[in-house]
Amino acid sequence: MAAFATAEACDSNAELISNGDLRALHPIFKMYGQRRCFSGPIVTLKVFEDNVLVRNQLETKGEGGVLVIDGGGSMRCALVGGNLGQLAQNNGWSGIVVNGCVRDVDEINDCDVGVRALGSNPLKSTKKGHGEKNVPIHIGGTLIRDGEWLYADSDGILISKTELSV
């Protein structure tokens, strides 16, 4: 995956960009985890200050997928911490994108998974199990659907309706 470059993908897919099949998220995310480049099919979650569904999803086999979490942009608590980063690594997830916060940053940075989040906050989330899975979400200035593809590197994050040839 290291050979993939989001900038090159944008340059070589102008038609997909113009028709909306390839979109770039706004550059609002900070990078965590050992993987600077990651990609895979998207699984979406919509939660607010509650990470029960996040844990439930990361306990499943990731098979190279990317979990994209719409946490409502809340900066009041973390939705992903070191234990969940390790769980993602162990279960074969390629990456996690959080429209919200992470915690245990040093632990996440030791995990072989790519993580993008708005920032960090040491407070943990609630544990009520509220939220939705596999639903369209809107983060980073774009609509993201379950099953689309995410590509991330040091330049940014792209969302594609289909898998791109890399």
Closest CA to 36 of 70, 8, 1, 85: 1
pTM: 0.96
Q: What is the CATH number of the domain that holds 67?
A: 3.50.30.40
Asked if residue 150 lies in contact with residue 158, where contact means CB atoms within 8 angstroms, the answer is yes
Q: What is the mean pLDDT of residues 138-166?
A: 95
Residue 131 lies in a domain: yes
| Domains contained in the chain, number | 1
Closest CA to 115 of 87, 141, 144: 87
For residue 87, being part of any structural domain is answered with yes
Q: Is 21 annotated as a binding residue?
A: no
The pLDDT of residue 2 = 47
Q: Is 53 annotated as a binding residue?
A: no
**59-114: per-residue pLDDT in tens?**
999 999 999 999 999 999 999 999 999 999 999 999 999 999 999 999 999 999 99
Domain span at residue 138? 6-160
Domain assignment present for residue 138? The answer is: yes
84 marked as binding residue:
yes
Average pLDDT estimate for 34-38: 96
Q: Is the pLDDT of residue 26 over 50?
A: yes
**pLDDT value of position 166:** 63
The answer to whether residues 115 and 80 touch, using CB atoms and an 8 Å cutoff, is yes
Q: Is residue 120 part of a domain?
A: yes
* Any domain includes 166: no
In a domain, 143, yes or no: yes
34 by DSSP, 3-state: which?
Answer: coil
Query: Is the model's pLDDT at 11 over the cut of 50?
Result: yes
pLDDT confidence bin for 3, thresholds 50/70/90: low
Residue 1 lies in a domain: no
Q: Is 87 annotated as a binding residue?
A: no
* Amino acid 165: pLDDT: 82
- Residue 54 is predicted with a pLDDT of 98
* 81 known member of a binding site: yes
Mean of the per-residue pLDDT values of the chain: 96
Say if residue 103 carries a ligand binding annotation: yes
Q: Is position 165 within any domain?
A: no
- DSSP secondary structure, 4-21, as one string: --HHHHHHH-HHHHHTTS
